[in-house]
Structure 1
Amino acid sequence: MAEIKVDISELKAEGGDIVKELAEFLKEKTNAKVETLTNEIVVKSEEKNVSKQYLRVLLRKFLHKSELKDFYKVISGEKGALKVKGRKIPEE
């Protein structure tokens, strides 16, 4: 069983609704089991059809759809995990 973790600790600042929407979005697109924990979402797939790269693309699509792409980015975490991290916004 393939398992990929997504750290959403910084994204939780936007509210619980965003986290629920993200979990539903990932479940719909990957047809995999999606668990929401305190600071992370775990995507468990029976087959190896959900790759880390594909999950990264889905996370970027979700951020774009939710109009959060200007404030967050998706980076690689430790041991096959992904992380949604806040962008540094330059002050003028």
Structure 2
Amino acid sequence: MSDGHDHLSRGEIAKDALQAGAQATAHTVGEVTSIVTRAVGEVAAAVGGLATELFAIRDDVRRAAADQDGGTGGVQDGGGQGGDQGAV
């Protein structure tokens, strides 16, 4: 008769330990993948925002230069440095 305890063979114990380790590893890899995916998306958004700002600045500079060359008076300070680029 049985004494109420399950008796597992060494092979079953090793299999269970290996299975638990594999599951823990898979879970951790999934978490890290999710973190990296989110981070890559945030970096891409930040770089995209920077590119948008740089294009806007370039366009403002071109408009200011055109205003100055055309005599429309769009640029108050003739230095071309600093100043309020939003006044174009």
TM-score normalized with structure 1 length? 0.24
Structure with more helix by fraction: 2
Structure in which a larger fraction of residues adopt strand: 1
Larger RCO, structures 1/2 (Cα 8 Å, 6+ apart): 1
Larger-gyration structure (1/2): 2
TM-score, L = length of structure 2 = 0.25
